[in-house]
Structure formats: C-alpha cells, structure tokens
A and B are shown apart, each in its own frame.
Chain A
C-alpha cells in the first residue's frame, strides 16, 4: 500500500495527539505507582468518569457562553470556555481521588500487594455501574465542542487538511506536560512528593506527612485522568467500557518508560501513540498487538524501562 507523505504526516499527528491523551492518563498512573506502590486498576474508570462528567460540564458552560461568536474575540472566548470546562471537570475528579485514597486505599498499604489489586479492581467494577446508574447504558456525546473548534483554521494555513481540535489537544497536552514537569521540578509541593518517592523514611524524618502526600498524589492522578477524559471525549462519545483500553495501554506506557518515571511516561506515551497510529494504516490487525510487542521487546533489552525509576529528576 502506497503511503503518501501527507497521509503519513496526518497519521503521525494523530498518534501524537493520542499520545498526549495517553500521557495524561499514564502520568497519573505512574506517579501513583512510583509513590504509593499501588497499581491503580480503576484509573481507566477515572478517565471515563472524566469523559462523562465533561459532557455535562461542556453543555453547561457552552450554555452560558453561547456558540462561538464571530471574529477573533468570540472564538477566543469560546476556546477559553472549553478550557475552563476541562479544568472544572478535572477539578470535580479531585475529591473522587481524595476519597479513594483516604477511605479505601489507606487501610491496606501494609498488606500484600495482591489486595491492592483486588481493591482497585473492585472500585473499577463499582465505578462502572455508578456510571451506568447516572448516565445509562447507551453512549453519549457532545458535538458542539468538536465542530466549533474545527471551524478555527490552523492546519489549513499550511495547506493540510487536519482537524483543528487535534491540534488543540496537542497544544493543551504540551502545556500539561510542561506544567507537570514544572510542578515536580520547581514547586515546593512537587519536591516534597519527589522526596517521598526517593526515600519515604527520610522524608518522614524531615517532617513530611506521607499520608498527605499519598492523598495528594492520588488526587493529582485523578485530576489528570479527568483532564484526559475531558480532552478525549469531544471527537468520540463517552461509553461505559471506554476506560479499559487506555488503562491497558497506560500499563504499556509506564513499563516502557520505567515504573514511576514521568519522563519515561512521556516518551512511552508518544511512542505508543505514534506506532499504534502507524499500524492502523500499515497493518490494521497489528494495532492492538504492536504496543505489547514493543513493551516485551524493551523489557528484554532494557529490563528497567527506558528511564528507570523515579529519582533525582522527574
């Protein structure tokens, strides 16, 4: 099959866009794993909870702002409104994460790791049906955001027919990446989290409350998952089982990057996103298999993942 350069570029961009979404999910997962030592199986459900919530929030906020008005100002207002909706959605997920950690997980840190798997899996199942109770069985979607943002010309300016919304995701995703690294490198809270990850006992000795750090980290993970859900939902629809696939791919991402490494999660997410996207055009049956094949390969060559574990740098 002949692949034109344009098609290859579009697929790569699609991959990068998906990679950024994946990074937002995987980064939360990897930070939780690196600090709490818990593999949160319910993380995909947090992502999908974000997607469902976002549809309501989008509707509400766009109801206030109205459809994008003409001119640059009107468009800018609309884009800001969408961003605000995404942030609100993510903020709604904060207490959910806090609750999860403080009520459920905290009781069983000293137990066998198996129980944490069972617990987070139980939470996965419960969240699945909570969504079913609230939003029903059928998938729901919001078209307004996707189509409105796509009317803004971006890629057309360089002669490429590519949805503006995807460009928007890539831009916002980059901001999130930069923000996360800034948070962990520069802010006091971020440094405290890193200190806890590197040496929990030492951190306690210098007066860090690990309980609070744990809650904070879990809430941060939920925030990022909600953010990802809100960013991912406009082009598609929110479905009950939408959390499964990103969850499994996030496992791949964090193993490729190294358990607990934020930088690794970033590289891994883009790698998985792009390769998966290429496979869709080159060899469709390989789409599901490719990420796992890469993961197995990387583990055989470099068992600790590309960037090892969490350490002095984020």
Chain B
C-alpha cells in the first residue's frame, strides 16, 4: 500500500519505490487512464486513428530508451532505428523461418536480438563521444539498413510479412483474433509494456547508476578519476536503451504484421526517434513518449491536410528550438520562453513597444551584418 513520506515539506506518497506528490499522482492516474481509453476515444472522431497513436507510442517508447543516453550521458545517438529495426526484423525472421506464432516468444526474440546488436554496436561506437559517436551510430544503422535492403532472405526493399502458422497471424494467448480485436488487444499489450518500461526507467533514474551516468555525462575524465568504470557503465546504458528500441520494434512488427527497411531501419527514422525525445522534452521521463505521439500524429494529420506536411513538421521543430527548448513536457512543467513573455505582457502591456523596438533593431543589425558578410564573401577581407 502507498506509504506517506514528506518531500521538501510537501506531502508525497511512495508506492513500489515510486515517489509522487498528490498533484503528480493525479497526472499519473490521468495519463494511465488516457492510455487505456484511447481505443474508445478513437471511435469518436475520424481524425484520431488508433493505429497512428499506437505507432506514435511505439516510436516514442524507443525514444524513451534513447533518452537514457541523451539525458544522462549526453551522448546523441543518431542510429536508434538500428535497434528498432533489429527488433522488428528479428520478429519477422522468427515468424517466417522458425514459424514462431506466440507474440510473447516473438517479443522475447526481438529483445534478445536487440540486446546482442546493442552490445556489439555499443562496444564498437562508445570509444567515441560527441559528433563522432552520432555519426558512428548513424553508420551502423545505415549498415543494417543496407543489409536488410540487400539480402533477399530479408525480403529486400519489399520487406517481410509477420504471418506465421495456419492462422496467418501471431497468436495472443494461443488464440487467433479477428483483425479489429487483434488491433485493440495488441494496443493494450503495448500499453502494458510501456507502463512496465516507464516504471523500470523510473527506477533506473532513481538509482545510483543514474548518478554515475550523470557524472560521466558532465565530465568523463573526472568520473574516471573518482573510480567509475566509465566504459562499462556507458555500455550498460547503451544496451538498456537498445533494448527499449528492440521491444518497440518487436511490437511494431507484431502490430503491423509487416516490416520494411524504409519504415524501420532508415536513418530518417533514427532522426525521428531523436527528435521525438527532444520534442517531448529530453529532461523528462515521459516526454519522449508524448513527443513520439505528437510527431507521428503531426506527420499523419499533416499528410491529410496538406501535401506540404514536411514543411509543417519543420516549422514545429523550429518553434521547438527557439520557443520551447525544453520540449512539450519540460515547458509545461516550468514554463517556456513564451510563457514568461506572456506573463510579462499581462503585467505590463507597454512591454510590447519595447519588444517591437528590439526586434526592429536586431533585424537592422542582421541586415548590416549580412551585407558586410556578403561583401567579405565577394571581395575578401581587406
């Protein structure tokens, strides 16, 4: 049962090692309820589609894993689609060539494959940090993409179906369901997996391991001097984050019943996963998940509304970079630049003219600078 503790003089509750204030608990319950009633919500409006939200959650889950690296060790992985794709392809291969039908076994296969892959890629790419690390992970991701594309056993660019056995589909609880029911059931499976995954991630972020990772992220050399096994810890974090990607990929394959290299392994998917984490707020636990739903939803809705949906996503990312650098969840929690500005405006409306003046001044300065730069480009520095 929940046990009452005090945190900074606000009453908080601790249950299964999760410590929350009353307000946080309300949000937590609300979030879980929303997750569970999504299939009902989607029947209300046509613009909400279960498969879209489901896909967003899956990619978001991979982003939660990536976030372990990004948030604590300050490593930017640009190849997380490698694990997503490994999980998806492991599922497909098991279903196709080993005839595995049970969803549980398929997912276990995905986890195993992703763990091995993350262990290998991690061991090879973690010798580097910064942009080198980002490029190395990108390279390994593209290597896997190329392999999936080039091998006819993996279906080439057509991909592989996940339709094992006489039922022509993976079995939940040993039973085959009609497509509609299957979709909803796999959604609930995803929700359960996500909740477990978030809980595990929360426990990790409460552990000394997280502090060690933070220390490594801040200053590697110092971390090594105080006796932390830097290489091993970062590697462990990398593998854990890879497993999250693998689970998400396995679920994706089970849900979609089809995997293609473009949709799972391509480097733009890696980018998506990274940007989901930042969009949602990479300093938070659930941010990446929400970022995933928002980004996938945005791309899907954008495709319906306009043919220029890339532009839409691009503008959203621009607004994110300049207006809400802490991401959706981070900004909601602490208030972004826009929020502070709004408060200022409410307090003193005349601040508007000051803003206008500074804006004009900065534009003027930019134009002068640009002209000077142009002159330098054309005539050199003399």
- What is the CA–CA distance of A129 and B127 in the complex, to the nearest angstrom? 38
A223-264 near B? 1/0 per residue, CB < 8 Å: 000000000000000000000100010011011000100000
* Residues in A84-131 with C-beta less than 8 Å from chain B: 94-95, 98-99, 102-104, 107-108, 111, 113-115, 117-119, 121-126, 128-130
Tell yes or no: B140 within 8 A of A by CB: yes
A-B contact count (CB 8 A): 158
Tell yes or no: B106 within 8 A of A by CB: no
Find chain A residues with CB under 8 A from B369 CB. Answer: 102, 211-212, 215
Query: From DSSP, what is the main secondary structure of chain B's interface residues?
Result: helix
- What is the CA–CA distance of A94 and B309 in the complex, to the nearest angstrom? 27
Asked if A219 and B135 make an inter-chain contact with CB atoms under 8 angstroms apart, the answer reads no
**Across the two chains, which residue of chain B brings its CB closest to A251?**
B135
Which residue of the partner chain, among B130, B143, B308, contacts A289 with CB atoms under 8 Å?
A: B143
- What is the CA–CA distance of A192 and B369 in the complex, to the nearest angstrom? 18
Interface-located stretch among A5-13, A51-59, A294-302? A294-302
Asked if B146 and A289 make an inter-chain contact with CB atoms under 8 angstroms apart, the answer reads yes
B76 to chain A, nearest CB (A): 6
A206 to chain B, nearest CB (A): 13
Asked if A299 and B136 make an inter-chain contact with CB atoms under 8 angstroms apart, the answer reads yes
Known contacts A285-B151, A288-B146; A126/B310 CB under 8 A = yes
Asked if B321 and A122 make an inter-chain contact with CB atoms under 8 angstroms apart, the answer reads yes
Residues of A within 8 Å of B, CB-based: how many? 61
Which residue of the partner chain, among A108, A129, A296, contacts B139 with CB atoms under 8 Å?
A: A296
Query: From DSSP, what is the main secondary structure of chain A's interface residues?
Result: helix
Enumerate 27 A-B pairs (CB-CB under 8 Å) in ascending A order: A107-B322, A111-B325, A114-B76, A117-B274, A121-B271, A122-B313, A125-B310, A128-B311, A128-B314, A129-B308, A130-B311, A189-B380, A212-B376, A215-B373, A216-B376, A220-B377, A244-B268, A248-B142, A248-B267, A285-B151, A288-B145, A288-B149, A289-B143, A289-B146, A296-B140, A299-B132, A303-B127
Having A129-B310, A137-B307, A216-B377, one finds 17 other A-B pairs with CB under 8 Å, namely A39-B135, A98-B370, A114-B278, A117-B274, A122-B313, A122-B316, A126-B315, A128-B311, A129-B309, A187-B380, A188-B380, A189-B376, A216-B373, A286-B150, A288-B146, A295-B139, A296-B143
